[in-house]
Amino acid sequence: MFGGVVLSSHDSPFSHLEERLSYFREDVGLNDYLAQMALLYPTWMDTAKYPKVNYFRRGELYYYMVQQVYARYAMERTANFLPKTEMLMWDHPIKVGYNPRTTTPHGRPLLPRANYMVPKEFNPHGVWKVERIERIVLDALDSGLLYNLVPSAMATLLVMSRDPAFYQLLHRLINIFQHHKEFMPCYTKKELSFPSVKIDTLDVGPLATYFDYFDMSVTNGIPIPAGKDYKDYHYTMRQRRLNHKSFTYKMSISSDENIDAMIRVFIGPKYDSEERPLTLEQARMGFVEIDRFPVKLSSGENMIERNSKESAAFTGDQESFAALYKRVETCITTKEPFYVTESFHCGLPERFMLPKGWHSGFTYQMFVIATPFDGKASSMAYDRYLDNYVACGGPKYYDGKPYGFPFDRRIDYKDVFHQANSIFKDVKIYHKDESDLNRPEHQ
């Protein structure tokens, strides 16, 4: 057997404060998630040509996925004392360069980008085409006519998400979509209320983040002398990843009747990186939906306890090629049946549920809202294997509300959000070193 463990290094020859976030951008789970979403919703596939393909609220879901990735990244910047991401401007320099240190399947290395590269100078024709598309979209939004638009082409997400400039691009795309949302009125008290339901209390267990190490197989990226020798080689790469201790939260909900409800749970910023308080409107695009689930409420008091591992908004690590190969090989050798799981994993890695805390603790805010749920969407025709996670787009977690509700529209007055069926809670997230985690009180 040949091989070994290669330590992953995120150090860049382009030294910059952005390297503080390399553990987030280089996370293979994040890269895999974005790549899967690009494959699940390719820009060239439309319902007219492919009517049998699942398209449950496709455009809105794709925007929601991108916005949630950006919001999660924004909170991680705050945790690392970094300011808000600057929006990508075609005629302004991109301050931070990036070297992907990645090769194509044909062995060709992807070119690095130098510091202070100006997109318009580097590729003027490409920028002209993008600006033209942006202008068409914005003109359509301003005129109120939306049809036959050219979709955003983000086919290289697997690599783009590792580049700091990717999040500047997301900032630009989100601003365009928010321009559309500005034409919509703010939610009224009636739209946010649930007359017969009241959330009385919300208690959240201790929240702690830490770094651990993950070994992933990279044998497929190593040149093997001969295909028949593949099983004799095994290389893994050890990568440092953000993680968090599992936690629980409990809520007491009073109801005047037996009724079905949908519960949404968010975590968002309360302060910026310099610990200045944010208004709810300033913070709203930074809220990340960490859980959503239907519940049957009984008349009277209802106690609901939920563990972070139950979340339908996040998913665990996917099976590696090496593990799949070994499983197939075992079945061939032992003649045992090979079982295929007919489900699809969608969502950010569950490790990213909480932003990195501070050793002294950093305050965020949790928000929980209960809304009516009649379950009618569950009777729609769709692919059942997409029903396990919110980001898959199945109707199981859909109650007629827009994705991102209620933070998807402008907030004029915070008081509108103070409804009986919702609750805000300040929470502190602590970051623990490995030595702290090994102490008995943290076991």
Per residue in 55-69, pLDDT (tens digit) is: 667 778 888 888 999
User: Structure pTM?
Assistant: 0.80
Segment of 126-135, 237-246, 297-306, 314-323 carrying the highest mean pLDDT: 297-306
CA distance 204 to 265: 12
- Please state which of the ranges 123-127, 218-222, 292-296, 333-337 shows the lowest mean pLDDT: 218-222
Bond prior to 277 in cis (omega within 30° of 0): no
Give CA–CA dist 242/353, Å, rounded. Answer: 10
Measured at the CA of 329, the angle between CA 323 and CA 335, to 5 degrees, comes to 130
End-to-end CA distance of the chain: 36
- Sort 438 into a burial class: Cβ within 10 Å, 0-12 / 13-18 / 19+: exposed
Q: Which value, to the nearest 10 degrees, does the dihedral of the CA atoms of residues 110, 113, 114, 120 take?
A: 140
Q: What is the mean pLDDT of residues 30-52?
A: 76
Mean pLDDT, the chain, rounded, equals 81
Average pLDDT (60-88) is 90
Question: What is the extent of the structural domain holding 33?
Answer: 2-442
Mean pLDDT of the 86-96 span: 85
Distance from CA of residue 128 to its chain's centroid?
30
* Interhelix angle 58-79/28-40, nearest 10 degrees: 160
CATH of the domain at 205: 2.60.40.1520
- Give per-residue burial for 228-253: e unless 16+ CB within 10 Å, then b: eeeeeebbbbebbbbbbbebebebeb
Q: What region, left, alpha or beta, does residue 417 occupy, with left being phi > 0 and alpha being psi -120 to 50 degrees?
A: alpha
CA 200 centroid distance within chain: 29
- The mean per-residue pLDDT over the stretch 162-191 comes to 86
> Is the pLDDT at 154 greater than 50, yes or no?
no
pLDDT category, 202, cuts 50, 70, 90?
very high
Q: Give the pLDDT score at 149.
A: 36
- 3-state secondary structure labels for all residues of the chain: CEEEEEECCCCCCCCCHHHHHHHHHCCHHHHHHHHHHHHHCCCCCCCCCCCCCCCCCHHHHHHHHHHHHHHHHHHHHHHCCCCCCCCCCCCCCECCCECCCCECCCCCECCCECCCECHHHHCHHHHHHHHHHHHHHHHHHHHCCCCCCCCCCCCCHHHHCCCHHHHHHHHHHHHHHHHHHCCCCCCCHHHHCCCCEEEEEEEECCEEEEEEEEEEECHHHCCCCCHHHHHHEEEEEEEEEEEECCCEEEEEEEECCCEEEEEEEEEEECECCCCCECCHHHHHHHCEEEEEEEEEECCEEEEEEEEHHHCCCEECCCCCHHHHHHHHHHHHHHCCCCCCCCCCCCCEEHHHHCCCCECCCEEEEEEEEEEECCCHHHHCCCCHHHCCCHHHCCHHHCCCCCCCCCCCCCCCCHHHHCCCCEEEEEEEEEECCHHHHCCHHHC
Question: Is the model more confident about 2 or about 207?
Answer: 207
Q: Which segment of 205-214, 424-433, 434-443 scores lowest on mean pLDDT? A: 434-443
Q: Give the chain's domain count.
A: 1
Task: Check: CB of residue 289 under 8 Å from CB of residue 68.
Answer: yes
Characterize 171-180 residue by residue with b for buried, 16 or more Cβ atoms within 10 angstroms of its Cβ, and e for exposed.
Answer: bbbbeebeee
Residue 375 has pLDDT above 80, yes or no: no
Q: Answer for the pair 356, 76: CB distance below 8 angstroms, yes or no.
A: yes
- 205-to-169, 259, 283, 359 alpha-carbon distances in Å: 36, 28, 23, 17
Report how far residue 151's alpha carbon sits from residue 148's, in angstroms, rounded to the nearest whole number.
9
User: Which token pair is 270?
Assistant: 């309360």
Question: How far is Cα 48 from Cα 316, in angstroms, rounded to an integer?
Answer: 34
